[in-house]
Amino acid sequence: MSENRYETAVARYFEAWNAGSAESLAKAVEAAWTEEGSYTDPFADVAGHEAVAAVIAGTHAQFPGFEFRKLGAVDGNHHIARFGWELVSSADGSAPFAGFDVITLAEDGRIGSVAGFVDRVPPTA
């Protein structure tokens, strides 16, 4: 598997997390995840396009005006990759949340699973 495959999968992942409308979110999740693809982090454990989209929409409702950004390089081997991220305020550039995710890729290059970890949370969270 090429390095580009990992970068492409992660770029699609961030497109989904930063989608602006319900329609663009649904399309982005479908492009990024397999039909039964899962997402697990300390706050969610879901599978399937609708459930993944609901987690993303809920996060945006909780943190309006924020976007997810990749931190550092994507590191991948075989069918897995890992990368860092942060949740950044469009208003002031602060990034109260940060962490890293590990993804598995299906043969078609879409995400089969995400295991998310949070490394930085604000004291009030």
Six-digit token string for 118: 């949070």
How many helices (H) and strands (E) are present in the chain, helices listed first? 3, 6
What is the H or E stretch that residue 66 is in? Answer: strand 66-77
As a whole-number percent, the residues of the chain with pLDDT over 90 amount to: 93
74 pLDDT band, cuts 50/70/90, is very high
Helix, strand, coil share (%) of the chain residues, nearest 5:
30, 45, 25
87 beta partners: 68, 97
pLDDT tens string 39-57: 999 999 999 999 999 999 9
Q: Which pLDDT value is given to residue 121?
A: 87
3-state secondary structure of 9: helix
1 pLDDT band, cuts 50/70/90, is very low
